[in-house]
Structure 1
């Protein structure tokens, strides 16, 4: 069901509601779509608009791999049910690709190519021609984004980008649909926690996922645990730094993360900063410090401070 939204607009500017209607119309002209679905706000908005436009010919598809936290897969299932869209889960492993494992500046290109390839396989099985994703109009201007190159090369349809739906518009549309993920922070794949130049391994991905589960249990909402080859660097948002300095949490984090195999556990006093160990990741996280890895000197003054 389409939300009841205010279609008013500033002079010369389309409102989020008008852009949403344009997206629904363009999706409705297709015989069906498979939505690359993470359960984040961007792909959830595309899924909701596609469900309105195409009914049962709209399918959300989530690719399960070692880089996807199990909690995020559960969240994707829940949000797909909330939207009322058919949800398919497929599996693949980025670790099968040595170029991905090497973790260079094009890691996300290799990941996105594999992930979207599985989407196209699913689309063929369902006799659907179109695969679409949640790239929005704010994404191309956010620096080094090799993942977008994969989207272009595979000719994935990005309806939010095509109709100038910005990140602010996305959240407004999500609010109009009353989606539970309307205010959900970005949640990039687990490989984004491993500094560029340090190999992505199942062991590192697993301990990062378990480490972040500890922070989630303690009630933190915007955080990362960066794995600097055995040194865990915990980042939390500035408004949660005080909670991170609580002695009970400090002791719990130290003990749990040490048990997971980390040699040292640190708290980054600069706070949470997207992409602070790599040029970018699957959700567009990026760093302003260039392509140099941060493994050798974790506390280098060169890495972003979140200003």
Structure 2
């Protein structure tokens, strides 16, 4: 019989006693992060409002109080709903929250949307964070990269984190994704079970230019899915064809006739010539190299095999 796991991540036997030789629990790792942050004069946390950056922000706030700042970078790739959520979560934590603006579309390398798109995005986004930190007199920038992120598919954004010498407290403490969620739950954060939400450009197949028009219609297309109560979804923009991905557990609801009609009419009004439902269901990074799909300020989505980028050029069997 396998030992049960307690909320702190330690192995317990029938008596509930933790094995003295067990690796540090999630709570102990969180305390290590809190102590390491307390040694800093101040920190600015690259803050998306997702569970990873929320945990870092909460621990930084505990450690440093007014000397900790959460910073969200607003751009065309960040849905308005996610910005609103980031503001709500920062308020929930009680940490000072700053919103700065920049545009990835100013960089032709990002617009080109090659396999290094996330590298260009992260470099610009974190560069804007450094500018904000300098204005506040803060030297240390932290992000929400966790120990599950490195080595998971094509992750060029992590190279930007390393090059810019951004601290990743969760990674440094060896805190993996499930432990992040356990810590968030322990801290009473409402985002403990929040699904990962990647930036809007991740919905555009590699090689197809990222434009404001495409980003806008993707955001509006996904709004109707959110309004219908779906929790994990994407609308992939294949230059005229909208491919809706919904979590397999929610596919039955996606086949509801009223939803089908509403989605078709809404997305057609946005300019999509064809509206399809992917029967594979939601898969992270399904239009990007090796499953690359990153959140605006942290890396946490992965897996999935790439699919055909240009569905109009693909050959399909007729029988």
**TM-aligned CA deviation for residue 35 of structure 1:** 0.1
1:68-106 CA distance string (max 9 Å, x none): 000000000000000000000000000000000000000
Rg bigger for which structure? 2
Partner of 2:309: 294
Shift of 1:293: 6.0
The aligned counterpart of 1:171 is 181
CA 1:127 to 1:236, structure 2 compared with 1: closer, same or farther past 3 Å?
same
Q: TM-score of the superposition, structure 2-length normalised?
A: 0.89
Instruction: Name the CA distance, whole Å, in 2 between partners of 1:42 and 1:153.
Output: 20
Q: Is the 8 A contact 2:235 2:242 kept in 1?
A: yes
2:274 matched to 1:259?
no
* 2:252 pairs with 1:237: no
Q: Name the CA distance, whole Å, in 2 between partners of 1:177 and 1:299.
A: 48
Q: Please give the alpha-carbon distance, in whole angstroms, between the structure 2 residues aligned to 1:266 and 1:293.
A: 14
Range moving further from structure 2, 279-288 or 11-20: 279-288
Cα distance in 2 between the residues matched to 1:53 and 1:250: 49
Say whether residues 1:43 and 2:53 are aligned partners.
yes
Does the CA contact (< 8 Å) of 1:69 and 1:209 recur in 2?
yes
Could you tell me which residue of structure 2 aligns to residue 83 of structure 1? Answer: 93
Partner of 1:282: 294
Partner of 1:304: none
Residues 254 and 89 of structure 1, relative CA distance in 2, 3 Å threshold: same
Cα distance in 1 for residues equivalent to 2:43 and 2:315: 46
Could you tell me which residue of structure 1 aligns to residue 222 of structure 2? 212
CA contact (8 A) 2:284 2:304 kept: no
Deviation at 1:282, TM superposition (A): 2.2
Specify the alignment match of 1:137 in structure 2. 147
In the alignment, is the contact (CA less than 8 A) between 1:24 and 1:50 conserved in 2?
yes
Q: Which residue of 2 aligns with 1:160?
A: 170
- Number of aligned residues: 296
1:281 to partner: Cα distance? 2.4
1-side partners of 2:115 and 2:302: how far apart? 11
Local SS of the residue matching 1:149:
helix
Instruction: Give SS of 1:140's match.
Output: coil
In structure 2, C-alpha distance between the alignment counterparts of 1:138 and 1:193, rounded to whole Å: 23
Aligned partner of residue 139 in structure 1, secondary structure: coil
Contact 1:276 1:286 in 2 (8 A): no
Specify the alignment match of 1:33 in structure 2: 43
Name the structure 1 match of 2:124: 114
Contact 2:133 2:139 in 1 (8 A): yes
Per-residue deviation, 1:220 = 0.4
1:14 to 2:24 alignment: yes
Do the aligned partners of 1:278 and 1:293 also contact (CA within 8 Å) in 2?
no
Task: Report if the CA contact (8 A) 1:277-1:287 is conserved.
Answer: no
Mapped to 1, the partners of 2:52 and 2:273 lie a distance apart of 37
Cross-structure match for 1:305: none
Distance in 1 between the 2:60 and 2:315 partners? 46
Match of 2:73 among 54, 63, 76: 63
| Cα distance per residue 1:20-49 (max 9 Å; x no partner) | 000000000000000000000000000000
Secondary structure at 2:244 match in 1: strand
For residue 150 of structure 2, give the secondary structure of its aligned residue in structure 1. helix
2-structure distance, mates of 1:104, 1:44: 30
